Amino acid sequence: MSVTFILLLTACSGSKYDNAINEVMKQEKKVRKEMRADSDEYKRDNAIIRVYDDGKYIQLAFYQPEESSRKLTTYSYYEKLGDSFEEMAHMPGDGDGDRLGLYKKTPGYEEVKGEQT
């Protein structure tokens, strides 16, 4: 019985990056609201999220409605500084060719529409 309970807890515990992702999502929603772009589309289950360098960097973008001319919003990048995350400036909106070379790396964790890939 205890083995089953441990397996159940492990399966339901989520990613070790959940707290970091949730913090970044909260910041991203605040930024988008300030830009008057607050919408139901800006949720974790409608995003592509990539975590690099054991949680030091988080990249995310949101899927656009089908009628939009673009599939995704521009990418946002966050860097862990101390105990919090700061949005990074001067990073490419298309997710390619960033100055840190993240586009060349395999993410340590990736999530598409709320599901780990």
The vertex-59 CA angle with 55 and 60, nearest 5°, equals 130
CA angle 101, 18, 50 (to 5 degrees): 25
Distance from C-alpha of 64 to C-alpha of 113, rounded to nearest angstrom: 12
Alpha-carbon gap, residue 61 to 71, rounded angstroms: 10
Mean pLDDT calculated for residue range 35-44: 75
Q: What is the mean pLDDT of residues 33-39?
A: 71
Regarding pTM above 0.85, the answer is no
Q: Given pLDDT bands bounded at 50, 70 and 90, which one contains residue 9? A: very low
107 near 51, Cβ under 8 Å? yes
Task: Tell me what the pLDDT averaged over the chain comes to.
Answer: 85
42 vs 48 pLDDT, higher one: 48
Residue 88 DSSP code: P
Query: How far apart (Å, rounded) are the C-alpha atoms in residues 65 and 68?
Result: 6
pLDDT 10s digits, 48-83: 999 999 999 999 999 988 888 889 999 999 999 999
Report d(CA 113, CA 29) in Å as an integer.
16
Provide the residue type at 39 as one letter. S
